[in-house]
Amino acid sequence: MCGKKHNFSCPGRYYYYFGKERETGEEEELRDREKAKEVFAEVKKEVERCIKFVKQRREEDPYRPLLPRLHYHLKHGLLTQVPTFPF
């Protein structure tokens, strides 16, 4: 069983999300320290946005706990994928 009594947690779901693609092949542009700082700030902002999005969706996920996922598999079949959040 899962829980504090056994000192381990139940397996969770993995949440990942890929944000906007960013082209970084402009080597000359990135040699300029100020331009490199701008690119870094843009990438950092996008990563933070993606993390915020995933955290929000994770909290809203009805299948995050183990028991609802197991119930879904029992009802729909073990090979059926449990639904994920909409993008």
pLDDT at 20: 82
How buried is residue 53: exposed, middle or buried, by Cβ count under 10 Å (0-12/13-18/19+)?
middle
- Per-residue confidence in pLDDT tens, the chain, 87 aa: 555 555 566 767 888 888 888 777 767 777 888 888 988 899 999 999 999 999 999 999 999 988 999 999 999 999 999 998 776
Tokens of 55: 């955290």
- pLDDT number for residue 61: 92
Confidence (pLDDT) at 30: 72
- Nearest to 39, CA basis, from 58, 17, 54, 24: 24
